[in-house]
Every structure is written in structure tokens, then in C-alpha cells.
Amino acid sequence: MAILIDSVTPQHNLIARKYLQDSLQLSPQSAIAWSQLADVLMRDYLNRWNEAAGTDSNARIELLNQAEHALQQAFSLDPTIALTHMDDGFIRRAKGDHQGALDAFERALALDPNLALAYAQKANQLVLTGRPKEAPPLVLKAIRLSPRDPARSVFSWVLGRAYFAMGNYDDAIVWLRRAVEERRTVWFSRAHLVSAFALAGKQTEAVDALNDFNGALPGYTLARIHDIYSQEIPNQHLAFQSTLNELFKGLQQAGMK
């Protein structure tokens, strides 16, 4: 997994997946390898990387199925690995079980109170369950625990998302801009940055950010983003739906079609 410590990119994620699959062919009783495999599969699924980047829904479903299989293998071998419970949270999130995902991230932290990414993901899940005000202290703790973490862009994204959900668009911009700079291959931080600029009344910056988004990751439209949130990452929580409405309002104001 050293390749992901260097930098987390779609290409590195795919290489890590191949290494893990080869390793498990040789040593299928490694719970940590199965857990790491579930982790990289879900990273592709949630970030829409590699085969998940296209419009083939079957490819995405297959990724999720593979991640669930890897998770089950990891749990059957050793249910005490914190990363496995964090992966469980990712899978539950993808399937719309948001309270179950929150519970899974809390179990991960109970097993490893120093797992910085689990604090950030618990914070992310609090946003998804309508509790964004509780999220920033958890993300700031993650940053203190691991200031040079390979997943530091996730910390920035979650903090930006929390401020966005609270309607604090100026602070959201600070962290969302940082998230985009740290990992330019993720669509959702870009979409929220565009919307935050527009909702903060910074139309020129919103248009520039939208043009940069379209140039870096072409093909994202209002309809496509709506489908992602309604079908691929379902969440009917009323507070979160209100945040989504604001996201779409800002994207429309910026000129996204």
C-alpha cells in the first residue's frame, strides 16, 4: 500500500488493487489484505474512478459487489480490524443505510481511536444525517492526528461540506478550494466549490471554477449529479435534501446545464 502513501490517485488506486488481488491469491487468509481491498474498491466506487468513471451502472454495481465480498472475507477472518469497520461504513453509505454507516465509523474509532480518516468519515456521515454542526471538531481532530495524511484532501472536503451544509459559504470555500487543490480528480468537491462561490455571491469565481471543473472532469451535468445522489448514494434525510437543493441552486446560478 506504499503507492497510496505517495499519493492517492485513480491510477495508484488501480495499481494498489492489483497488488492486493495478487497478494490474496498467494495468501487468502490475510484479513488486513481483504480489508484493504474493500477499501480501494470503495474508493473507486465513491469517487467514480477507473471503471466507475463511465456511465456503465453494471461496472459500478460489480465494484460494490466485490467490495462487499472482500469485507465479508475480512470480517470472517478478524472482526477486530478498525479499517474493516470503516469499509463497512462506506458500503452502508453507498446502499443508503446512513445511520448504519455512522454506527460503523463509531465502531472503527472504538477499535482504533487514532484512526484519523475514521474521524473525518464520521464527520462526513454526520453531515449526511443532518448534523453538520457536530462535524468540524471531528475533522479538526483528524487533521491534528495526521496533518500529512494521504487522505488530507478528504479532511478538507468534509470540513468544506459541513460548512456548506450550515450555509457558511465563505468558510466552505476555503476548505473546498483546498480539497480541489489537494485532489483534482474528485467531482464532488469541485461541484460544491462551484456552488459555494455562486451562493456567496461570487459569480466570477463560480464561473471560473465551473470552467475548471468541466475541463478537468467533463460530462458532469445537473441531471447527472442529481442521478448520483438519488440513485447511487441515496439519502432521503430532510436536512440533507435541503442541502442538496442548495447545491443545485448554486450550480444553476453558476451556469451548469
Query: 95, 65 in Cβ contact below 8 A?
Result: no
Start-end of H helices in 27-133: 31-47, 57-77, 82-94, 98-111, 116-128
With H, G, I as helix, E, B as strand and everything else as coil, classify residue 177: helix
**Nearest alpha carbon to residue 152 among 129, 126, 175:** 175
59 plus 173 within the same structural domain: no
104 plus 149 within the same structural domain: no
Domain span at residue 6 reads: 1-113
For 85-122, the pLDDT digits (tens) are 999 999 999 999 999 999 999 999 999 999 999 999 99
157 plus 246 within the same structural domain: yes
At residue 114, φ and ψ (nearest 5 deg) are -105, 10
At residue 203, φ and ψ (nearest 5 deg) are -65, -40
Say what the pLDDT of residue 1 is. Answer: 54
163 plus 69 within the same structural domain: no
C-alpha grid cell, residue 77: 477472518
Residue 120 belongs to some domain of the structure:
no
* Sign of the Cα pseudo-torsion (108, 73, 97, 143, in order): positive
Residue 21: which H helix or E strand, with range?
A: helix 10-26
C-alpha grid cell, residue 192: 460544491
44 plus 137 within the same structural domain: no
How sure is the predictor about 6, in pLDDT bands with cuts at 50, 70 and 90?
low
Q: Is 162 left (phi over 0), alpha (psi -120 to 50) or beta?
A: alpha
Residue 8 belongs to some domain of the structure:
yes
For 181-238, the pLDDT digits (tens) are 999 999 999 999 999 999 999 999 999 999 999 999 999 999 999 999 998 789 999 9
For 44-94, the pLDDT digits (tens) are 999 999 999 888 889 999 999 999 999 999 999 999 999 999 999 999 999
Largest CA distance in the chain: 56
Q: Which of 59, 84, 113 is the last residue before a domain boundary?
A: 113
Q: Which residues contact 84 (CB under 8 A, 6 or more apart)?
A: 31, 34, 35, 38, 71, 74, 75, 78
Residue 247 belongs to some domain of the structure:
yes
36 plus 105 within the same structural domain: yes
Residue 10 belongs to some domain of the structure:
yes
Q: How many domains does the chain have?
A: 2
Statement: residue 172 has pLDDT above 90: yes
User: Burial letters for 213-249: b for 16+ Cβ neighbours within 10 Å, e otherwise?
Assistant: bbeebeebeeeebeebbeebbebebeebeebbebbbe
Say what the pLDDT of residue 3 is. Answer: 47
Q: Identify the CATH number of the domain in which residue 6 sits.
A: 1.25.40.10
Q: How far apart are CA 199 and CA 16, in angstroms?
A: 39
Say what the pLDDT of residue 4 is. Answer: 57
158 plus 56 within the same structural domain: no
